[in-house]
Amino acid sequence: MAPRKISVPALRARKHDGKRIVMVTAYDALFARMADEAGVDALLVGDSVGTVVQGLENTLAVELDDIVYHCRAVARGTQRAHIVGDMPFMSYQVSPEQALESAGRLIKKGGAESVKLEGGAEVAESVRRIVMAGIPVMGHLGLTPQSIHAMGGHRIQGRSAEARTRLLADARALEEAGVFAIVLEGIPLEAARDVTVAIDVPTIGIGAGPHCDGQVLVLPDLLGLTDRFNPRFLKRYEKFAERGREAIACFVEEVQEGVFPSLEHSFSVDEIEGRDRPERVVHA
């Protein structure tokens, strides 16, 4: 029997049951399955795919079709965790109608179970329109990567009292519009605490301190698949980049020296003819 899917009502209930939400950002079936089996509550198919997978400088060039593609892959590797599809730059900013159409595409074509978009009061009407269509929405406040040019780069937000007041107002506007959770990114822990206390939907932090109702990290980051990205908020739980380079270097050496493949990794005619069924061979 397949594990029971984690639903939006179940995630929202975490606000009051004392159990923190654990979310990771993933982009394919392989890592989605790994995270799902490890017990994460939600998988975010983020527009960070642009910087993490596609090698882009920022997320602005990511297309809606990119997210649809990666959502489908993540959905194939997931049985239990809730799947959130990120709405990329200019897939929702034009109008509430455009936002609804983009959200619907992530659900219908991508297999997402909810969508996430960046912004506060200025996107509240789009959030409301999407929610009214029966599509759950996760908000995103603070350091919003799609606004890096306006913010002057990836800078901590909510530094001033005025900025923190605006952040709180935006969170309330999103809650009123119907979001079921809000990601808080790159803000002082005091600001995240104030927002978390003030609203009745869960907050999920990344670089926002310990007071949020949950936490999210990009899966390749927490696994240490990259060692060139070193923000203060990131904790690496493994060193896969270092270990991976060592493993590949060993493969290079063994191939060059004729050590691999050995007879152990080869097929002989006598062995193959003696079998009732041919061994399945998948080639690169």
Residues involved in catalysis: 185
Give CA separation, 143 vs 110, 136, 254, 278, in Å: 26, 22, 46, 55
- The label of the residue with tokens 């780069």 reads 153
Over the range 231-243, which residues count as b (16 or more CB within 10 Å of their CB) and which as e? eeeeebeeebbee
DSSP three-state, residue 119: strand
Q: How far apart are CA 159 and CA 149, in angstroms?
A: 18
Residue type, 92: Y
- Strands 203-206, 214-218: pairing is parallel
According to DSSP, residue 205 is labeled E
Indicate the SS3 state at residue 36.
helix
Please tell me the distance from the alpha carbon of residue 227 to that of residue 235, in angstroms, as a whole number. 11
